[in-house]
Amino acid sequence: MSLIPKVLALVKATHFGPTLIVASATFILAQTEFSNAASFEITLAIVAGQCVVGWSNDLIDFPLDSSAARKNKPLVAGTISKESLAVAIPTALVLAILLSYFGPLGFKGTMIHLIGIASASLYNLGLKSTLISVVPYAISFGLLPWAIYVAANKRVPAWIYLGFMLFACAFHFLNVVKDMESDRLLNIAGLPQRLGKSGSLVAALLLVGLGCWDILAR
């Protein structure tokens, strides 16, 4: 396989849509405290962390994804290999640490970033099948503004990190809906699966509503 298809498969395996949203939100938020160049550096560090989470998710879930014949996953489709991801994941983690520590985030921002990566990794390692499946979303995305503001020696406004948490939790419920039936067949019993499609949609709408209220009431 030539290099370009492999690179495209790796990009897709990061869960490109959510990663793009996180990258955009990071850059916009970082611009409130840092220059464009510094904001770009911070965004690269966060994207490297997203790569760790996305790639490890696909690697860990490979047996389940194969059973469900999820050909939209590059690993199941055979466009990348488990060996490639096994190399890419630690590489991305090292880059996330270096880009954070030697970039604008510094030591404190790096520590917060690593806690966020650890929280998301715990989701991949098993919390996704528990009643608290939504908690890693709240923690990881709630910490993102903290990493940026702490690095700027400021306290993040409550409405910002609460907004990140609420919208991230809403995304968790919405993201699971499309795979609800296959998840249940594979005994993945996170909070959305236990609530069902209707319950998850209601939860997502409530969280989005709270997120909008949080922004308007700041």
- Give the model confidence (pLDDT) of 49-84 as tens digits: 999 999 999 999 998 888 877 888 899 888 899 999
pLDDT bucket at 120, cuts 50 / 70 / 90: very high
Q: What is the dihedral of CA 202, 206, 212, 216, to 10 degrees?
A: 150
Q: What is the DSSP letter of 157?
A: P
Q: For residue 47, give the nearest of 6, 105, 129 by alpha carbon.
A: 105
Average pLDDT on 81-88 reads 94
Structurally, the chain folds into a number of domains equal to 1
Does 126 map to a domain? yes
The whole-angstrom separation of Cα 178 and Cα 182 is 9
Q: Taking CA 129 as the corner, what is the angle to CA 177 and CA 169, rounded to the nearest 5 degrees?
A: 55
Does 30 map to a domain? yes
Q: What is the dihedral of CA 116, 35, 98, 88, to 10 degrees?
A: 70
Does 97 map to a domain? yes
- What does the pLDDT read at residue 58? 93
**Is the separation of the CB atoms in 151 and 212 below 8 Å?**
no
pLDDT digits (tens, 9 = 90+) for 10-46: 999 999 999 999 999 999 999 999 999 999 999 999 9
Does 95 map to a domain? yes
Cβ-based neighbour number of residue 28 at 10 Å: 11
The whole-angstrom separation of Cα 213 and Cα 54 is 30
Work out whether the CA dihedral 181, 182, 187, 189 comes out positive or negative.
negative
Does 130 map to a domain? yes
CATH of the domain at 90: 1.10.357.140
Q: For residue 151, give the nearest of 24, 27, 34 by alpha carbon.
A: 34
Domain residues for 112? 3-155
Q: Taking CA 114 as the corner, what is the angle to CA 25 and CA 82, rounded to the nearest 5 degrees?
A: 90
Does 134 map to a domain? yes
pLDDT bucket at 144, cuts 50 / 70 / 90: very high
pLDDT value at 163 more than 70: yes
